[in-house]
């Protein structure tokens, strides 16, 4: 199988430019040859005109001779005929390989016959002799034929020049059309090969700047642009992997923050278990089975309570692949609230108002991370007590769910809102935040094919709106 060579972008551009330059040179060369031929033909036409004029002058003196029978007229006739012979020789030399040669040979033969007749007439002065009358008639016929042949030579060269000029016009139109076509084709090739892929890459980089890591369709150009697009897709895959690492690192950071709160949540059930054990041990000797049984049930309940706390933390911290499954939204939100409850000041209340029957395709673990970050941010924005409300409802079309996380905090200025979801952007004091929380939230929502926006005014709290599709491809 013959392997077709692949040329790089530079070679393709140089090839196109080379064809363009060679085309122009070829057009110039052909046009120059035609112009040179036209110049030669013009010179031949001038000689043909001269030859025709010389024949006409010789004929004029021939007629004068027959009118006045003056020897001077005959001598002038011979002189013009001699010049005609010289001109015909020059003309024959210049067009030795042209189509004009057969006509020149015929003209030369007729000119020789005419000269011979003139010589005979010059030698025989008896013009009124009947034999001379026949010779005169023959001379006039030869002169007429000679004039016609000289005019044919002029007409022939004139037609030749007109033909070349017509050809030049046609070539000029063809060359111009070809130049315009190449002038259009070259920019189109440049647009298709370079600017179109660059436009695609530019749009994809803008998506990346907004947290959307979308691969691009690779155009099969078989040159550097295809390699750039393939490298771009490799970069997108690497960014997605790094984003997942970023989410995990943020999650680990959140786990570190939650550890103290989890320890506090575990402390109450453990204390209750310890107290119940002591009471049950003390009552063993008295044999109060009712009290002992109540203490054992209390121990069981507190154990389950502690297990739920630890289970929630373990589920949150576990690394797993992104997976969409139907989940009860209210249950996911409550789990996030339980995890973060200990980090929220006691004078800030969290209210969840979500229909229990509302089921949404989502990644449970990652959506917990979303609500956890939003609740922590909302609690940090509230000074001196307040309320965080989480609600959800279907949109007007019924195809999406709109989740609102609303706080009664200080609000967010308009100039800051545009940068809230940028990585490493934070309004907190140095050392108080990494600026990754809302960036991670944005990335998770985008991965769910959803959207997140913020609406706020300074001093009037803030509302974060999360829009998620209710119908999407379930990834088990």
Of the candidates 467, 448, 234, 451, which has an alpha carbon nearest to the alpha carbon of residue 322?
448
Query: 10 Å Cβ neighbour count for 447?
Result: 19
- Region 265-276: mean pLDDT is 67
CA distance 187 to 318: 55
Burial class of 48 by CB neighbour count within 10 A (0 to 12, 13 to 18, 19+) = buried
Can you give 135-182 as a three-state secondary structure string? HHHHHHHHHHHHHHHHHHHHHHHHHHHHHHHHHHHHHHHHHHHHHHHH
CA distance 103 to 149: 8
* Tokens of residue 93, six digits: 């030399």
More confident residue, 262 or 111: 111
Instruction: Using alpha carbons, list the distances in angstroms from residue 40 to 45, 88, 267.
Output: 9, 16, 114
Instruction: Using alpha carbons, list the distances in angstroms from residue 31 to 37, 54, 171, 175, 400.
Output: 10, 34, 8, 10, 70
pLDDT in tens, 35-67: 888 888 888 888 889 989 998 998 898 888 888
CB 232 within 8 A of CB 255: no
Q: Quote the percentage of the chain above a pLDDT of 90.
A: 10
Task: Give pLDDT, residue 432.
Answer: 46
* Tokens of residue 364, six digits: 């449970």
* Tokens of residue 209, six digits: 């700047």
Burial class of 158 by CB neighbour count within 10 A (0 to 12, 13 to 18, 19+) = middle
CA angle (177 as vertex; 172, 183 as ends), nearest 5:
125
What is the b/e burial string over 361-399, where b = at least 16 CB atoms within 10 angstroms of the residue's CB?
bbbbbbbbbbbbbbbbbbbbbbeeebebbbbbeeeeeee
Of the candidates 411, 339, 420, which has an alpha carbon nearest to the alpha carbon of residue 375?
339
More confident residue, 200 or 337: 337
Q: Is the pLDDT of residue 430 over 50?
A: no
pLDDT band at 10 (very low <50, low <70, confident <90, very high): low
Task: Give pLDDT, residue 393.
Answer: 92
Look at strands 386-394 and 400-407 and give their pairing. antiparallel
Task: Give pLDDT, residue 388.
Answer: 92
DSSP state of 350: E
Task: Give pLDDT, residue 67.
Answer: 83
Lowest-confidence region among 233-242, 379-388, 409-418, 435-444: 435-444
Average pLDDT, the chain: 77
Burial class of 317 by CB neighbour count within 10 A (0 to 12, 13 to 18, 19+) = middle
pLDDT in tens, 88-110: 888 888 876 667 788 888 888 88
Domains recognised in the chain with CATH numbers: 9-195 (1.20.120), 223-319 (1.10.287), 321-476 (3.30.565.10)
CB 339 within 8 A of CB 445: no
CA distance 291 to 288: 6
The owner of tokens 């070829």 is 26
pLDDT band at 126 (very low <50, low <70, confident <90, very high): very low
Q: Is 287 left (phi over 0), alpha (psi -120 to 50) or beta?
A: left
The owner of tokens 């973060």 is 340
């Amino acid at each position: 199988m013959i392997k077709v060579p692949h040329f790089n972008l530079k070679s393709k551009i140089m090839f196109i430019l080379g064809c363009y330059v060679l085309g122009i040179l070829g057009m110039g060369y052909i046009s120059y040859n035609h112009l040179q031929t036209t110049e030669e033909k013009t010179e031949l036409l001038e000689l043909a005109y001269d030859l025709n004029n010389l024949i006409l002058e010789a004929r004029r003196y021939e007629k004068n001779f027959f009118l006045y029978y003056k020897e001077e007229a005959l001598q002038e006739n011979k002189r013009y005929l001699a010049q005609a012979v010289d001109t015909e020789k020059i003309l024959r030399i210049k067009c030795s390989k042209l189509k004009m040669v057969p006509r020149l040979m015929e003209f030369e033969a007729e000119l020789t016959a005419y000269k011979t007749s003139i010589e005979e007439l010059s030698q025989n002065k008896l013009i009124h002799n009947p034999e001379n009358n026949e010779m005169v008639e023959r001379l006039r016929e030869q002169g007429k034929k000679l004039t016609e042949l000289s005019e044919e030579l002029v007409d022939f060269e004139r037609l030749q020049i007109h033909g070349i000029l017509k050809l030049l016009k046609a070539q000029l139109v063809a060359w111009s059309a070809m130049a315009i076509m190449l002038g259009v084709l070259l920019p189109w090739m440049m647009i298709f090969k370079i600017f179109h892929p660059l436009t695609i890459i530019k749009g994809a980089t803008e998506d990346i700047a907004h947290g959307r890591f979308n691969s691009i369709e690779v155009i099969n150009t078989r040159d550097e642009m295809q390699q750039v697009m393939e490298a771009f897709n490799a970069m997108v895959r690497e960014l997605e992997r790094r984003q997942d690492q970023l989410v995990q690192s943020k999650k680990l950071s959140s786990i570190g923050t939650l550890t103290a709160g989890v320890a506090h949540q575990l402390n109450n059930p453990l204390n209750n278990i310890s107290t119940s054990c002591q009471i049950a041990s003390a009552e063993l000797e008295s044999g109060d089975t009712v009290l002992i049984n109540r203490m054992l049930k209390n121990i069981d309940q507190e154990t389950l309570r502690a297990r739920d706390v630890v289970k929630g933390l373990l589920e949150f911290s576990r690394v797993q692949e992104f997976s969409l499954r139907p989940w009860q939204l209210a249950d996911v939100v409550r789990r996030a609230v339980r995890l973060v409850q200990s980090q929220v000041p006691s004078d800030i209340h969290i209210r969840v108002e979500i229909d229990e029957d509302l089921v949404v395709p989502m990644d449970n673990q990652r959506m917990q991370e979303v609500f956890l970050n939003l609740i922590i941010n909302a609690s940090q924005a509230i000074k001196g007590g307040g309320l965080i409300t989480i609600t959800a409802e279907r949109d007007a079309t019924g195809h999406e769910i709109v989740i609102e996380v609303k706080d009664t905090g200080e609000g967010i200025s308009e100039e800051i809102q545009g940068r809230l979801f940028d990585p490493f952007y934070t309004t907190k004091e140095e050392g108080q935040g990494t600026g990754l929380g809302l960036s991670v939230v944005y990335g998770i929502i985008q991965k769910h094919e959803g959207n997140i926006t913020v609406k706020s005014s300074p001093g009037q709290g803030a509302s974060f709106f999360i829009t998620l599709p209710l119908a999407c491809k379930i990834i088990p």
